[in-house]
């Protein structure tokens, strides 16, 4: 007992000398889970990237390697408006998806502000470019047995912002466009820019062409599109009203909330699921990646459905801050509207 007292005094003195506020560690974000949907137990150590096509019809293809599978499910990931080159805004989600064992096609569909389409004023040229890019990516993979062959019967679609509007329309018209049937769809704060009218008028008038058996989630951020003036009926609130053919058990409308309990805070602004690898945060692995993984598992194998669909604890939960306080959970609805 006597020997420990001087050590305790020294520790107390050092804490005082360090200044106020340093005795307690800062509260930090939840870490990526070691396993399960959104987890870090990747079956593939790296990816291989190919840039193909040209102009507005260009595309990137990402294949899992180390080891390279012979075949893999196909995921189509769509960026938002204003990404004229590269794939940085969706890089973290793409890399996670590929290392989980999927081949990803990333349509470029845009080379300047108004090329090929001037936003919501005429979305059709952007849809046409996305279709050509998807077809080009599939053709590239099929052209060589040394490339990962896509399982077209296991195809999922992810769309962010304007890319979410494109994704919804492509999924709605997949038969006429001869695209792979959508088995799982994740729409992240879909938005056409609101330049022509509120309520996402660039969406198809009806989305009845989306298969009823699809597993679908539409996400809006509490501080995202719907927080803007006059936009309460936009984003997922506009999409969800057109999904009546899809039964409730197969779809959810969800809302993330900004949580400033720790450092750095978790934002629910526009682009929750978009970001570079170095900037990925707990909303990526505990929400975006978790739900995206689980939607595909649910659609292809009937597993992990409770992580992506229904008002379940596994779906709502977004992890805990380092001091044990839970991150503010998802708000989950079966019907629109949803709001802060």
Residue 157 belongs to domain spanning: 29-333
Residue 175 lies in a domain: yes
pLDDT, position 6: 34
pLDDT, position 21: 45
Per-residue model confidence as pLDDT tens digits over 241-297: 999 999 999 999 999 999 999 999 999 999 999 998 989 999 999 999 999 999 999
Share of the chain above pLDDT 90, in %: 89
Residue 16 lies in a domain: no
The residue among 8 and 152 whose pLDDT is bigger is 152
What's the CA gap between 181 and 283, in Å, rounded?
A: 28
pLDDT, position 113: 87
pLDDT, position 316: 98
Contacts of 305-309 spanning 24+ positions with Cβ under 8 A? 305/215, 307/36, 307/37, 308/37, 308/215, 308/217, 308/252, 309/215, 309/217, 309/249, 309/250, 309/251, 309/252
Residue 340 lies in a domain: no
Per-residue model confidence as pLDDT tens digits over 1-42: 333 333 333 333 333 344 444 446 899 999 999 999 999 999
The pTM for the full model equals 0.92
Residue 155 lies in a domain: yes
Contact 126, 269 (CB under 8 A): no
Per-residue model confidence as pLDDT tens digits over 92-113: 999 999 999 999 999 999 988 8
pLDDT, position 84: 83
CB burial readout 286-319, b (16+ within 10 A) else e: bbbbbbbbbbbbbbbeeebbebbbbeeeebebbb
pLDDT, position 193: 94
The SS3 assignment for 313 reads helix
Among left, alpha and beta (phi > 0; psi -120 to 50; other), residue 275 is left
pLDDT, position 24: 64
Here the CATH number for the domain that contains residue 177 is 3.40.50.1820
Residue 11 lies in a domain: no
Residue 4 lies in a domain: no
pLDDT, position 25: 85
Could you give the number of structural domains in the chain? 1
Per the DSSP assignment, residues forming a β-bridge with 266 are: 259
Residue 20 lies in a domain: no
Residue 14 lies in a domain: no
What's the CA gap between 129 and 142, in Å, rounded?
A: 20
The SS3 assignment for 308 reads coil
Contact 315, 306 (CB under 8 A): yes
């Amino acid at each position: 007992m006597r020997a420990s007292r001087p050590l305790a005094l020294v520790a107390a003195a050092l804490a005082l000398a360090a200044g106020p506020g340093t005795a307690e560690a800062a509260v930090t974000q939840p870490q990526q889970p070691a396993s399960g949907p959104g987890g870090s137990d990747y079956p593939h150590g790296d990816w291989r990237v190919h840039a193909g096509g040209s102009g507005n019809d260009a595309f990137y293809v990402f294949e899992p390697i180390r080891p390279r599978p012979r075949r893999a499910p196909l995921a189509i990931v769509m960026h938002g408006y204003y990404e004229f080159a590269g794939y940085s805004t969706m890089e973290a989600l793409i890399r996670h998806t590929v290392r989980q064992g999927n081949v990803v096609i990333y349509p470029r569909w845009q080379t300047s502000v108004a090329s090929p389409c001037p936003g919501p004023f005429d979305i059709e040229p952007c849809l046409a470019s996305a279709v050509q890019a998807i077809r080009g990516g599939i053709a590239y993979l099929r052209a060589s047995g040394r490339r990962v062959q896509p399982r077209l019967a296991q195809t999922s679609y992810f769309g962010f912002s304007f890319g979410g509007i494109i994704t919804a329309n492509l999924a709605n018209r997949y038969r006429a466009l001869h695209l792979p049937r959508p088995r799982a769809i994740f729409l992240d704060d879909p938005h056409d820019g609101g330049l022509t009218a509120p309520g996402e008028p660039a969406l198809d008038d009806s989305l009845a062409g989306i298969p009823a058996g699809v597993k679908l989630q539409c996400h809006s951020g509490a501080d995202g599109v719907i927080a803007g003036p006059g936009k309460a009926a936009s984003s997922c609130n506009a999409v969800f009203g057109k999904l009546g053919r899809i039964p409730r058990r197969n779809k959810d409308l969800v809302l993330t909330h900004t949580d400033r309990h720790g450092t750095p805070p978790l934002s629910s602004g526009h682009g929750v699921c978009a970001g570079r690898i170095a900037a990925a945060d707990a909303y990526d692995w505990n929400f975006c990646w978790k739900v995206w993984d689980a939607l595909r598992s649910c659609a292809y194998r009937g597993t992990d459905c409770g992580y992506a669909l229904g008002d379940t604890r596994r779906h709502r939960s977004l992890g805990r801050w380092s001091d044990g306080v839970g991150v503010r959970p998802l708000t989950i609805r079966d019907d629109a509207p949803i709001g802060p």
